[in-house]
Amino acid sequence: MSGSDRSGSPQFMASQEYQYGEARRKKTFNDNIHGHITLHRAAVAIIDTPEFQRLRNLKQLGLTYYIFPGASHNRFEHSIGVGHLATEWGRHLIGSRGGPGPDGWALRNFEPEDRRHLTILQLAGLCHDLGHGPFSHVFEKELLPKLFPGNPQVVKEWHHETMSNKIFDYITSGDSGNDIDLGVLAGLDGSDMQLVKALMHGSANPAADYPSAPWLFDIVANKRNGIDVDKFDYLLRDSKMCGVAVQLDQARLMKLSRLDRAKEQVIFKMTEYGNIATGLFGSRAEMHRRVYTHQKVKAVEFMVCEALALAQAPLGLREAVENTADISLYLNLDDSLLPRLQALRLHPHDEHYEAVQQAQELMRQMARRQLYKFVQEVTLTPAARRMYAGMPTAEEVIGYQSSAKFDGVQLRAQDVVLCETHIDQGMKEANPMDTVLFYQTRDRDMGDRAFAMQPSDVSNMLGSVYQDKKVRVYSKNRDKTYCAALKYAFEQWANAKLKTQPPGTPWRQSRAQQQQQQQQFALPDAAAFGSSGRVSWGANCFGGSGPGLPRRGSAAAEIGSAADASGGADGNAAMEHDGVAMVLQLGSQGEQLLQVPSRKRSLTQDMQSASQQQQQQQQHGSQAGSGGGRSSCGFGSQLECDAAAADAAAAVDGRPAKQSKASSGGGRSSSSRGGAGLPGIEEDAAEGS
């Protein structure tokens, strides 16, 4: 039935009078994201049903709540927000369809057909998540494969969008006992109900599915380019509740959109390219990276799915999914599954007793925060994806374990959990911006001149890769040595199969490198200094003229061979500014790394302290040359500095150290007792006999 045919029907006229004549029949909600929003009375009637109220017991982010304490919001408020945004965006788009005129884009007068479309959009947005199972997308992506390991067809055909359509039919039918007649409440007939369900599911070819108004499919579940109010709401809501900032400005994006008259699809002002590319699609990828696929979130999901799979028979999970004739069984599934699992009490002779005991033990481990241990991950490059397709098995990974490196550790396949995470911008490996159309405001008679934009039209800094694939490995055994052995095996597998090396956790990698460097390049021991005794390694002995990093190439303190000690081309010293290591280039021996034990005070502070003390000495009139021919650095004579440097170089090169002849102090080279030496860098050595 066309819009003109509907306008004179008694049902339609009654609904319009009811909708617009009695505002008290509507309901206003105070939402923490969108503020005060008002919904049609047909939407309120659906909200006030047990089937919709079930959404209060479905966390929007499922088990993410175990990691992000603020993620306690539910699909109930998300659905109300989507219904509100669908109406607001639809109202703006209909108003912008009037076309250009002398004063720019004129607002279109709302026709009865337009008002009907707004009601349909609101109902579609409100009901689009009715079919979600417990724990968000984990139910269909992780749990169903465990419930039906021998029947992949069930997993492949089950979609929450399809279940949403079934529940919508159930709510509006007489079987539910809700007594909801959308014909009376909103003037909708059977074809309108089918359109509501189609908009909930989305369409890749809206022009064929609904040629009179294909743009409606761009609002709730946009299969054309992914810009829809569902993403607007969940990105704003999830980011706020999780404390993760996103750059999306959904109000501006909706305001600067129009309907293209020729293609009947939503187009955007060309200045909004960045708001869409970065604010919408970039924020989606960032939320997946930082929240939805968080390492510990996935660990909790694995444990819950394993527990529910063990206890599926007493909980009736398979029957609830398979029995589509009785949808009430599925409606009993919500996030209360975990308390129900913990409350199960079976007789020891029950055939499911052992499985339930194992499931409950997993729940206790979660409560004690004894989660599966994240071990390692590797990001698959495009070359690696072509080289290795599919997921590795646990047996394949543990085949690379090293018995020699981890003696006594035997990896077991049942302790290994492997998963693959996909983080993209909504269209897998494709750029979603390729399907977005734009307009220019300076085209007053734009007509059908909507156009696509390339990333290079905006900036050369926009990336060309739109999907990340990662393979992660977890260990059920939390023993550190066991996890280290599994990490080594996984890295060897990645190196062999993918020709890549996974990155280590930064602080662990740094500490491992530090320990290796300490073993390979330790400082010369006391005997290497011979009779030189105490040697002070001061800032000025490295050519420094004051606090801060030393300069290179100073003749006074370059450490090298005896021939290079005067500052030759090969002799130079560089010191790391982290107070941990000094890098010395020793003639033809190449670069050697000498480790100095970490100290509580940084090297820079010690340099500044030494410089200040030296200036104080000069201000108090310290006499030049005092202390037995000391050098200008105040740390001993020049001969002592050069001798110590030569001894250090000899020790590293493997040459016997020469006996340093101290010019004063009984065979001892030391800083002046005025405190100019650097505390914590001095090396004590036994005095030569």
Q: Which residues sit opposite 379 in a β-bridge?
A: 470
H or E segment to which residue 58 belongs: none
Can you give the pLDDT at residue 305? 97
Give the strand order in the sheet containing 581-585.
Answer: 572-575, 581-585, 591-595
Residue 280 binned pLDDT confidence (cut-offs 50, 70, 90) = very high
Summarize pLDDT for 530-549 with one digit per residue, the tens: 444 433 344 334 334 444 34
470 and 379 Cβ atoms separated by less than 8 Å: yes
**303 pLDDT exceeds 60?**
yes
633 touches 641 (CB < 8 A): yes
Which residue(s) pair with 36 in the sheet? 30
Query: Of 273, 444, 303, 285, which Cα lies nearest the Cα of 368?
Result: 303
How much is the pLDDT for 621? 57
Residues 6+ apart with CB under 8 A from 531: 659, 660, 661, 662, 667, 687, 688
- pLDDT for 665 equals 44
pLDDT, residue 569, reads 40
Quick check: 616 pLDDT over 80?
A: no
In the sheet that holds 373-380, the strands lie side by side as 373-380, 467-475, 416-424
Top-confidence range, 1-10, 284-293, 602-611, 651-660: 284-293
Euclidean distance between the first and final Cα of the chain, in Å? 112
Q: How confident is the model at residue 653 (pLDDT cuts 50, 70, 90)?
A: low
Q: What are phi and psi of 216, to 5 degrees?
A: -60, -30
Mean pLDDT over 558-574 rounds to 39
List C-alpha distances in Å: 364 to 65, 81, 337, 361: 17, 36, 15, 5
Which SS3 state, helix, strand or coil, does residue 224 take?
A: coil
* Nearest C-alpha neighbor of 258 from the set 57, 38, 443: 443
598 SS3 class: coil
Q: How far apart are CA 309 and CA 352, in angstroms?
A: 12
Q: What value does the mean pLDDT take over residues 290-304?
A: 97
Q: What is the 3-state secondary structure (H, E, C) of 662-674?
A: CCCCCCCCCCCCC
Residue 170 confidence (pLDDT): 95
Dist CA 651 CA 595 (whole Å): 14
Share of the chain above pLDDT 70, in %: 66
Question: At 287, is the pLDDT very low, low, confident or very high (cuts 50, 70, 90)?
Answer: very high
More confident: 352 or 446: 352
- Fold (CATH) for 3-48+69-135+152-287: Hypothetical protein af1432 (1.10.3210)
Better-predicted residue by pLDDT, 513 or 192: 192
Contacts of 678 (CB under 8 A, 6+ apart): 536, 537, 538, 539, 603, 606, 607, 609, 610
pLDDT at 685: 37
- How many Cβ atoms sit within 10 Å of the Cβ of residue 267? 23
> Average of pLDDT values for 11-20?
43
Confidence of residue 147 (pLDDT cuts 50, 70, 90): very high
User: What is the tens place of the pLDDT at every residue in 101-138?
Assistant: 444 445 556 788 999 999 999 999 999 999 999 999 99
Whether 3-48+69-135+152-287 shares its CATH topology with 372-518 is answered no
How far is residue 487's CA from residue 490's CA, in Å, rounded to a whole number?
Answer: 5
| The predicted structure's pLDDT at residue 386 | 80
Is residue 216 over pLDDT 80? yes
CB atoms within 10 A of CB 604: 15
**What's the rounded Cα separation, in Å, for the pair 98 and 89?**
16
Amino acid at position 193, single letter: M
What pLDDT score was predicted for residue 651? Answer: 53
Confidence of residue 498 (pLDDT cuts 50, 70, 90): confident
13 pLDDT higher than 50: no
**What's the CATH number for 372-518?**
3.30.70.2760
230's tokens: 């569902």
Choice between 345 and 545, residue whose per-residue pLDDT is larger: 345
Number of H helices, E strands in the chain: 31, 13
Checking if the pLDDT of 300 tops 90, the result is yes
What is the Cα–Cα distance from 283 to 236, expressed in whole angstroms?
Answer: 10
Residue range 396-423, pLDDT digits in tens: 999 999 988 998 899 999 999 999 998 8
**How many other C-beta atoms can be found within 10 angstroms of the C-beta atom of residue 684?**
9
How far, in Å, CA of 153 to CA of 507, rounded? 45
Give the pLDDT confidence of 227-242 residue by residue, as tens digits: 999 999 999 999 999 9
Does residue 596 surpass a pLDDT of 80? Answer: no
| Mean pLDDT to the nearest integer, 481-494 | 95
Q: Where are the beta strands (DSSP E) in 333-449?
A: 373-380, 416-424, 438-439
- Residue 179 in contact with residue 173, Cβ under 8 Å? no
CA 438 to chain centre: 30
Query: Which helix (DSSP H) or strand (DSSP E) does residue 266 occupy?
Result: strand 266-269
CB-based contacts of 254: which residues, under 8 Å, 6+ apart? 85, 88, 89, 92, 232
Residue 441 CA to residue 271 CA, distance in Å, equals 10
What is the reported pTM?
Answer: 0.70
Instruction: Report H helices in 499-602.
Output: 506-520
User: Mean pLDDT, to the nearest integer, of 147-172?
Assistant: 91
Structure tokens at 66: 């175990």
- What is the C-alpha separation between 289 and 297, in angstroms, rounded? 11
Q: Are 276 and 227 in contact (CB under 8 A)?
A: yes
List CB contacts of 559: < 8 A, sequence separation 6 or more: 565, 571, 573, 584, 586, 645, 648, 649
What is the pLDDT, as a whole number, of residue 509?
52
Q: Give the amino acid at 309.
A: A
**Whole-number Cα distances in Å, 556 to 250, 470, 547, 672:** 65, 53, 17, 18
Residues of the chain with pLDDT > 90: what percent? 52
141 closest CA partner among 360, 305, 284: 305
Confidence of residue 597 (pLDDT cuts 50, 70, 90): very low
Tell me if 286 sits within 8 A of 280, measured CB to CB. no
Q: What is the pLDDT of residue 553?
A: 40
Distance CA 623, CA 235 (A): 72
673, pLDDT greater than 80 = no
CB 246 within 8 A of CB 202: no
User: Residue 179's pLDDT is what?
Assistant: 86
User: What pLDDT does residue 177 have?
Assistant: 86
Can you give the residue ranges of every domain in the chain?
3-48+69-135+152-287, 372-518, 519-653
Give the whole-angstrom CA distance, residue 286 versus residue 280: 10
Using the predicted structure, report yes or no on whether residue 19 has a pLDDT greater than 90. no
The region of weakest confidence among 253-257, 275-279, 451-455 is: 451-455
- Write the single-letter amino acid at 508: R
370 DSSP β-pair partners: none
Residue with tokens 């055939």: 351
At residue 487, what is the residue type? K
* Average pLDDT of the residues in 548-571: 39
Q: Contact at 8 Å (CB) between 596 and 590?
A: no
Q: Which of 97-106, 214-223, 268-277 has the lowest mean pLDDT?
A: 97-106
Q: What is the pLDDT of residues 358-402, one digit of tens each?
A: 999 999 999 999 999 999 999 988 888 887 878 899 999 999 999
Phi, psi angle pair for 443, to nearest 5°: -85, 90
- Average pLDDT of the chain is 77
What would the two tokens of residue 679 be? 């505390």
Strand partners, 591: 585
